[in-house]
Amino acid sequence: MPFLSVKTSAYIEDGCKMELQRALGALVTVIPGKTIDNCITDISCGRDMFRHGEKALAAFVDLRLFTPAPDDAKQTFMEGLCKLLKDKLNIEPVNVYCNFVELDQWGSGGRFNRAPKA
């Protein structure tokens, strides 16, 4: 964990997709306890996306985390994400949306995990 899903209307060639995946993996390390080694990344590109009823160069990101992360880490992630997508894909920050989904249950490697109760 985490799972990072990026959906964008930008077209991304395979070589650039690997570069973007590495940059996203590095960015996720601003969340305490998260590394590129425990992150699964899904990048879907060339999607029809609309904003204000018009086709737009945009991105929607879903970051799923096992247990809550500090708000300042999520803010740092969001700022880095917007900069990365602007630099790599020319997507304006106003057209970048991100969900932070913080879960208390997760399964991986055949094991079920539950966060300790506070």
The whole domain housing 78 covers: 3-114
The CATH number for 17's domain is 3.30.429.10
Q: Give the separation between CA 47 and CA 31, rounded to whole angstroms.
A: 28
pLDDT 10s digits, 65-94? 999 999 999 999 999 999 999 999 999 999
The string over 24-58, giving b where at least 16 C-beta atoms fall within 10 Å of a residue's C-beta and e elsewhere, is bbebbebbeebeeeebebebebeeebeeeeeebeb
User: Residue 117: what pLDDT?
Assistant: 82
pLDDT 10s digits, 31-44? 999 999 989 999 99
pTM of the model: 0.93
Q: Report the domain count for the chain.
A: 1
**Closest CA relative to residue 32, chosen from 79, 80, 66:** 66
